Amino acid sequence: MATPAASSAPLIEKHTIGYVPPEDRHGKVRDLFTLWFGGNIAPLPIVTGALGVQLFHLNLLWGIVAILVGHLVGGVLMALHSAQGPQMGIPQMIQSRAQFGSLGALLVVLIAGVMYIGFFASNIVLAGKSLHGVVDSVPVPVGIVIGAVGSGIIGIIGYRFIHVLNRIGTWVLGIGIVVGFGYIFTHIQTDDFLTRGSFNFSGWLATVSLAALWQIAFAPYVSDYSRYLPADVKVSSTFWTTYLGSALGSSLAFIFGAVAVLATPVGMDTMDAVKLATGSIGPLMLVLFLLSVISHNALNLYGAVLSLITLVQTFAYRWIPTAKSRAVISIIVLLACCFAAVGASKDFIGHFVDMVLVLLVVLVPWTAINLIDFYAIHKGQYDIQSIFQVDGGIYGRYNPQALLAYAIGIAVQIPFMNTPLYVGPVSAHINGADLSWLVGLLVTSPLYFWLANRDTSYRRRMMGGKLASSL
């Protein structure tokens, strides 16, 4: 569905965390498919997908099954967040104030910001390595800077340009990865392509968890890219276009990593395996992945900047920043990440993945609370004005029910965790499979629903939330 605003929408986005009024809504629902499909065909998901056979020693069949199960399950949560965008018209993180209160939401917003800064930094490292792989004369540090600047320009221009690039990227990368699969399957360089590895339950669960967590990691900013759509867009349309785009794109990338590793000798770095496995078209694949990294990484910069703005606006509540403010903050984040990435250790990406696994332990209960509150408690009706008030308006500075459910949701995950900081007894018993995310969802969701319905101010918030429809 398009609106008259679509043709007149400025290329450089003028809104940041503020409410997007009806006259500024534009775009088509199908853009969500291309955004999440094209954005997920990139080196980082390829490297992550290869872990199923590299680290957890699954064979090709069971690796593919685990990848599909994880993305199909995790994608449901991710797409449910996306469907919130057109109804709310505000970014995901600032919407959390309606569940946690204006101050209660700060921890989650901070964690999301740190995670996406980490994503941005790790991707510019990959961009630097990819560019060096394409052009040997370009040192990795120079490639890192080039990748960061490219992503920075896209992120500063903002929402509309990000969608335009991913519409193009979907066709280019989609065709590219299909051609890549075809080349690998006709030029397999190993005798144990189908027999290397085997089914082991703990490795299968671990791979499912990796894929599901990949999807859940998008949850804190997925609705940022649907909030400009007209408010009358069907929830089901928003859900399915996001779900299919993200689940299909990320599954293809994960499987591509697994296939490339199995088609090359044991012990190779994943991206080196991709280059070797794709032979004569390897340089072209690296160029496509490089462009994908730069384009997709703009989402991480954009999400990190919106999170930082949300943090500042909590205390400077009268400030709704302009495009210029967003550009300045983007440049500051970009420079800091370049400095960190250039001086990072060779195992920077491995350390980053470890950090994400830790951060997701505290993001999973947030996902459960946000979705239950939106779909089951408030049914999509919120008081937008209160969300931007320093005292939280009708939502207050703190929501004890949400914070209690959130704390319990984190605590119940501890025995099931497998992170660099701590390995829980249950995870150790099942050879390292991390099921904390699943336990966190299953406990936090009904607990918050029960606590919220016992809240004596629940009716008052429900009535106040109806004001949102009049804005």
Structure token digits, residue 343:
């001086």
Mean pLDDT of 45-58: 90
User: Is the separation of the CB atoms in 464 and 383 below 8 Å?
Assistant: yes
Tens of pLDDT along 300-314?
Answer: 888 888 888 888 888
Residue 349: pLDDT band with limits 50, 70, 90? low
Tokens coding 413: 């995950």
State how far the Cα of 107 lies from the Cα of 91, in Å rounded to an integer. Answer: 16
Q: Could you count the other beta carbons within 10 Å of the beta carbon of residue 25?
A: 22
- In whole numbers, what is the pLDDT of the chain averaged over residues? 85
Q: Where exactly are the structural domains of the chain?
A: 27-470
What is the largest distance, in Å, between two alpha-carbon atoms of the chain? 67
- Crossing angle of helices 43-54 and 348-372, in 10° steps, is 100
Q: What is the pTM of this model?
A: 0.86
Could you tell me the pLDDT band of residue 352, with boundaries at 50, 70 and 90?
low
- Report angle CA 55, 38, 250 to the nearest 5 degrees: 30
Which stretches within 263-372 are classed as H helix?
270-277, 282-315, 323-342, 348-372
Is the separation of the CB atoms in 306 and 298 below 8 Å?
no
- Please write the tens of the pLDDT for every residue from 243-256: 999 999 999 999 99
Q: Per-residue pLDDT for 433 more than 70?
A: yes
For residues 242 and 267, which has the higher predicted lDDT (pLDDT)?
242
pLDDT digits (tens, 9 = 90+) for 371-407: 999 999 988 889 888 888 888 888 889 899 999 999 9
Q: How confident is the model at residue 470 (pLDDT cuts 50, 70, 90)?
A: very low
Three-state secondary-structure class, residue 459: helix
pLDDT digits (tens, 9 = 90+) for 79-137: 999 989 898 988 888 889 999 998 999 888 888 888 888 888 888 888 888 788 778 88
pLDDT of residue 471: 45
If you average pLDDT over residues 50-67, what whole number do you get? Answer: 93
CATH 1.10.4160.10 fits 27-470, yes or no: yes
